[in-house]
Amino acid sequence: MPYYYENHMGGWYTSEEELDHDSLYCETCGESDWPLGWYEDDDDFAKNSGYYNDYEDYEEELKEQEKEKERYEQMTTYPDVPKEIVDINKYGLTLKNIKTLKVNRKLVNEQNGFWRNEAIKGWCLSGAVGVDDYPICDATEYWLGVYDKTKKDGSAKIECNFSCWSGMGTYKFDKFFDEKDIENRDEYAIQYRFIARMNNLIEKGVFEITW
């Protein structure tokens, strides 16, 4: 029969073995999980532990968990990559040469889609596809920063990166629209959106290519 414990962050969990205090203690916040006893199964726990006000609360929780599971499966089941990958990178942008773009700072503003970031002392451009809400947190994103501080040669300092899993991982690739670096529709979509936006900003005169 499993042992039941109340998680100090909310909810409960089970263990086939009885856990000691050290195993229940959280060093990060200083709180501990709480033993609730052992029961035949979840049904026995719900009826007899006193954790729920009544059995109907448990049944309602099961329904919500099932809905959340279905939502998660829907959101994380990627459609196949399109049969035809359309390369719109007409200016030959790469993650390396983007850093050498010439910047018209007068046009780096909110009207052109940038947002101010005082933490880095610069202006940012960002976008995402996918789901960024808990518990899914599976968005694929791009970020570009134009810093106030210039490089030694007087040119603008630009950084650009792509991330996955809502910022918890790095999406690395060598070349835009290269099939070997595109595993799902979101990865294709984020590259497409970024390049489309950069094409527009180059044509507006915000950026100027130097190659």
Is 39 inside any structural domain? yes
Does pLDDT of 82 surpass 90? no
One DSSP character per residue, 82-147 reads: PSS-----TT---TTGGGG-EE-GGG-SGGGT-EEETTTTEEEEEEEES--STTT---EEEEEEEE
Query: Pick the residue with more confidence: 164 or 95?
Result: 95
**Does one domain contain both 14 and 50?**
yes
pLDDT at 147 over 80: yes
Do 110 and 13 lie in one domain? The reply is no
More confident residue, 139 or 116: 116
pLDDT for 152: 87
Residue 194 pLDDT exceeds 60: yes
Which of 15-24, 34-43, 137-146, 156-165 has the least mean pLDDT? 137-146
Range of the domain at 13: 3-75
The answer to whether residues 111 and 199 belong to one domain is yes
Q: State the residue for tokens 């990166």.
A: 161
Is the confidence at residue 75, as pLDDT, over 70?
no
Confidence class for position 129, pLDDT limits 50, 70, 90: confident
Same domain, 202 and 125: yes
Question: Of 202, 201, 200, 169, which Cα lies nearest the Cα of 187?
Answer: 169
Specify the pLDDT at position 35: 93
How many domains does the chain fold into? 2
Q: Between 66 and 49, where is the model more confident?
A: 49
71 and 109 belong to one structural domain: no
The whole-chain average pLDDT of the chain stands at 87
**Does the structure show a pLDDT above 70 at 21?**
yes
Output the pLDDT for position 10: 83
Task: Report which of residues 131 and 18 the model is more confident about.
Answer: 18
> What is the reported pLDDT for 33?
94
What is the mean predicted confidence (pLDDT) over 15-44? 91
